[in-house]
A and B are shown apart, each in its own frame.
Chain A
Amino acid sequence: MRAQEQNAGSLTQDPQGNFGARWKSFGQASFGYILLAPALIIILGLNLYPTISGVLTAFTNQSLLDPFNWAFVGFANFQKLFGDPVFRISLVHSLVLTGLAVSLQVVLGLILAHLLIEQVPGIQFFWSIGMIAWVLPIIASVVMFRFITLPNYGFINILLNDLGVGHLARNWFGDEKYAFVLILIMHLWRNVPFYAISFMAAMQAIPSDLYEAARIDGASTWRQFYHVTLPNLRYIILVMVVLHVTFTFNNFDFVYLSTGGGPVNSTEVLPTFIYKQAWNGYELGYASAGGVIMLIVLVVLAFGCRKFIGGFSEE
């Protein structure tokens, strides 16, 4: 991101040493602000304002039943949160889901990238349809997964029956043990190809003489991967990880639309917990406090990823 910015900066550098040129550039700049104004208003007014307002709401007792009548209550919402067992289990689920989904996505994405980079006939076809799951509305993906896992006539159970292991068939989304795994699988299904294609694009940019040099030094395939491929992918891995930590941790649709957090809270995550507090429980202040915790965790996770990924490949 930084490189892009510097690049853009250098393009905007006008040679300006004298007073006249400064005036001219001021005239241009004011037109620039006019062009930027609509975006500025929308981003400040409809993004930053709601966020700040949301953080402030966390310290109030605002209720959906009477939203214009509220008072500051200090940290009461936060105290209540940490005493709430459903909140605690949601936090754990969110962290486990994010950690598992993102690390599996990186590993599977790397494997798929190595397959996609092979110059085999027809590989363009695999490139072109790779992102298909990513562009679908999440509700559509949920319908698909609920449909293949239906207890009586879903694909999975029919297949298990046909293979003679019908006793393994079950109501997958309704099963406390498997519902969470299914949510994880849906995350993998949607995002792994996105990782793979971005990794592949970055791998194509690695100069081939690096690999040649490694081969001459007698490096095995694994060592080439570890010492050439991985360090060169560090930046794109960081970008994808930060992007998907945010996506997974914030994602509401997959859980809410497939299990609603059940059975018995076994898939409850922070976004669904907060949504229910606000819109079913009417407690906007309490829900916002949950949102603030999410925000804090996200900031910590984003910096953590940066440190971790930036760190290990520098050795």
Chain B
Amino acid sequence: MRKSKRRLVIVYAGLFIFYAFLLLPIVWLVLSSFRNTDSIQSGRLLPYPSELTVTNYVEAFRIANLTTFLVNSFIIAITVMLLVVFIASLGAYALSRFRLRGRNIFMMLALTPQFFPYVLILIPFYVLMSNIGLVDSHLGLILTHTSITLPFALWMLTGYFSAIPRDFDQAALIDGCSRLGVLFRIIYPIAIPGMVVAGFFAFVVSWGDYLFVSILSQSPETQTLPIGLQTFMSSLQVKWGLITAGTVIAIVPTIVFFAIVQRRLVAGLTAGAVK
């Protein structure tokens, strides 16, 4: 009994250290976004209640074009998410259910780009996109983010679909279901958790991408939140109230989405790799 109490204390102390480090930057950011400028610059860790305000949020929207960046980020990330899950599910269905020549070679080839330096790929990408006139367009960014997230999503979903017994397909086929019908009516409902994680992965990568957007997008009409935040941060050096408010706005959608999928996330992310 005594030993287990000691153990409990050690475990909580250890967890406290790790999680204080994990949560401190986030909590400090959120807290500061509700403080007025005087309070942030006061040199006190905690604000007085009277210093709490939402003006930073109002101002952030007014000054920083935040609405445009938000809309662009949503358009691109949601389209990428849907496109990736749909294309990957078709491909994963083919790879898990059909006898395809060269299947294993394709599976290997499909995953290799995941390990290539993006800064290298970006260069031909830019040349390609300017050739087909897609620089500074939503479509160009959507295609880019789709292509960088598709290999992983395809791998993950192939793993998921392969684990679904073929008996289900056979039964549905005998009942007169078409091949595509099997995918939509039998496999989709069973594989929903995997598809949500694949979609989440695509969303998070697209939502957070700075590298590709910084080159392929050249005007505020197509720029996304990471670019917005970066220009915000370098142009408003001292207005940390606004910068923190903008950052909170940028992370809320990911955190909400994360709250929905978190239970499945790690299992999903390592699904292609773990036995």
- Chain A residues engaging chain B, CB cutoff 8 angstroms: 1, 3-5, 7-9, 11-14, 25, 28-29, 31-33, 35-36, 38-40, 42-51, 53-55, 57, 67, 108, 111-112, 115-116, 118, 120, 126, 128-133, 135-141, 143-148, 150, 152-153, 155, 158-159, 161-162, 189, 192-194, 197-198, 201-202, 235-236, 239, 246, 249-250, 252-253, 256-257, 270-271, 274-275, 278-279, 284, 287-288, 290-292, 294-295, 298, 302
Given A42-B150, A136-B208, A143-B243, verify A28-B115 contact (CB < 8 Å). no
On whether the beta carbons of A43 and B147 are closer than 8 Å, the reply is yes
B189 sits at the interface (CB 8 A): no
- Give bound CA distance, A38 to B90, whole Å: 8
B1 sits at the interface (CB 8 A): no
| Chain A minimum-CB-distance residue to B117 | A294
| SS class, residues of chain B in contact with chain A | helix
Number of A-B contacts (CB under 8 A): 307
On whether the beta carbons of B121 and A50 are closer than 8 Å, the reply is yes
**Residues from 14 to 68 in B contacting A, C-beta threshold 8 Å:** 14-15, 18-19, 21-26, 28-29, 32, 40-45
| Chain A minimum-CB-distance residue to B200 | A135
- Give bound CA distance, A297 to B220, whole Å: 37
Residues of B near A43 (CB, < 8 A) are 109-110, 113, 147, 150-151, 154
On whether the beta carbons of B163 and A7 are closer than 8 Å, the reply is yes
A289 to chain B, nearest CB (A): 10
On whether the beta carbons of B123 and A57 are closer than 8 Å, the reply is yes
| Chain A minimum-CB-distance residue to B203 | A135
On whether the beta carbons of A271 and B119 are closer than 8 Å, the reply is yes
On whether the beta carbons of B147 and A138 are closer than 8 Å, the reply is no
On whether the beta carbons of A120 and B24 are closer than 8 Å, the reply is no
On whether the beta carbons of B120 and A54 are closer than 8 Å, the reply is yes
| SS class, residues of chain A in contact with chain B | helix
- Give bound CA distance, A4 to B144, whole Å: 28
Residues of B near A44 (CB, < 8 A) are 109
On whether the beta carbons of B113 and A115 are closer than 8 Å, the reply is no
- Give bound CA distance, A192 to B22, whole Å: 9
Residues of A near B226 (CB, < 8 A) are 137-139
B241 to chain A, nearest CB (A): 11
Given A115-B11, A139-B208, verify A288-B120 contact (CB < 8 Å). yes
On whether the beta carbons of B42 and A253 are closer than 8 Å, the reply is no
On whether the beta carbons of A39 and B99 are closer than 8 Å, the reply is no
- Give bound CA distance, A3 to B243, whole Å: 47
- Give bound CA distance, A72 to B28, whole Å: 53
Which listed residue (A143, A148, A162) contacts B24, Cβ 8 A? A148
Residues of B near A4 (CB, < 8 A) are 159, 162, 272-273, 275
Which listed residue (B88, B128, B251, B257) contacts A50, Cβ 8 A? B128
Given A50-B128, A252-B211, verify A33-B26 contact (CB < 8 Å). no
**Residues from 166 to 185 in B contacting A, C-beta threshold 8 Å:** 166, 179
Given A132-B255, A197-B266, verify A115-B14 contact (CB < 8 Å). yes
B65 to chain A, nearest CB (A): 16
**Residues from 220 to 256 in B contacting A, C-beta threshold 8 Å:** 225-226, 229-230, 233, 240, 243-244, 247, 250-251, 254-255
Pull 17 A–B residue pairs with CB atoms less than 8 Å apart, ordered by A.
A1-B273, A7-B163, A29-B100, A32-B98, A35-B91, A51-B113, A129-B262, A137-B210, A145-B25, A147-B244, A189-B21, A198-B274, A246-B115, A252-B210, A253-B210, A253-B211, A295-B117
